[in-house]
Amino acid sequence: MISFFKKSAKEENAYLKAIPLVADMHSHILPGIDDGAKNMEQSLALIGELIDMGYRKLTATPHIMGDFYKNTPAIIHEKLIKVQLAVNQKGWNIELKAAAEYYLDEWFMEKLRREEPMLTFGNNYVLFETSYINPPVQLQEAIFLMKSQGYKPVLAHPERYIYFHDNFSKIREIYEMGVLLQININSLSGYYSVPAQVIAEKLVDNRMVHFAGTDCHSLKHIQSLHLAQSKKYYAKLLTLDLLNHIL
């Protein structure tokens, strides 16, 4: 019994150091340019919910994907300005920014090879994702090109890639190459899958998480975020030195 109480006290102390998240760096809240918010009404509904959850700074990261979403900095910034105006009209207390979630495809590789300016957030961070099923053949080259151009690559939701589910050491390899890792908060509620939840928890246990993101696309994600926030691993996540806190 004594050791049980000792452990509980230790865990409680750890949780006392938890810092609430006020900055999100991964969301699809700009209207009509990807599979997130479809219109301004939906954008405002999501932003309103995120404000209620305590967020004070949101970085919208619309998909940029050669096959589906050929978004450009100009398209994204135009949407950001429209949403900002609508938010101002509501009188809401929230800082809005925009970057992108780049899908690792030839469209992205060409941009990197041509050294086109990337959309970044915070301290020159570039958020990128890969196929969910197949390990990307250009991963090493993409990381090299991003780093050599002064960017800090951030891999979106490593826990969601099926090709990592039986291969945690591959995630560790990428981590050791200096790629920053961002987990989705909703992975902790089991929203995506059990393996995604298991990997996300393992990343938290191993303190291999640099950013936490909502990856919010719709009100369904908001519901799941409430559930995730009640989980033990969410409390544990908040004790890590997340870079969200310095955005």
Binding-site string for Fe ion from residue 191 to residue 210, where x marks contact by CB under 5 A and - marks none = --------------------
- Pick the closer one to Fe ion by CB: 218 or 239: 218
Alpha-carbon Rg for the chain in angstroms? 18
- Pick the closer one to Fe ion by CB: 29 or 243: 29
Of 17-25, 100-108, 109-117, 200-208, the window that binds Fe ion (rule: CB under 5 A) is 100-108
What is the rounded CA–CA span in Å between residue 19 and residue 240? Answer: 9
- Pick the closer one to Fe ion by CB: 49 or 215: 215
Nearest-approach distance from CB 29 to Fe ion, in angstroms: 11
Note whether 215 binds Fe ion by CB under 5 A. Answer: yes
Of 37-45, 94-102, 130-138, 146-154, the window that binds Fe ion (rule: CB under 5 A) is 94-102
b/e string for 39-54 if b means 16 or more Cβ within 10 A? Answer: ebebbbbbbebbbebe
Note whether 101 binds Fe ion by CB under 5 A. Answer: yes
Nearest-approach distance from CB 201 to Fe ion, in angstroms: 20
- Pick the closer one to Fe ion by CB: 213 or 233: 213
- Pick the closer one to Fe ion by CB: 63 or 236: 63
Q: Residues in the site for Fe ion, rule: CB under 5 A? A: 101, 215
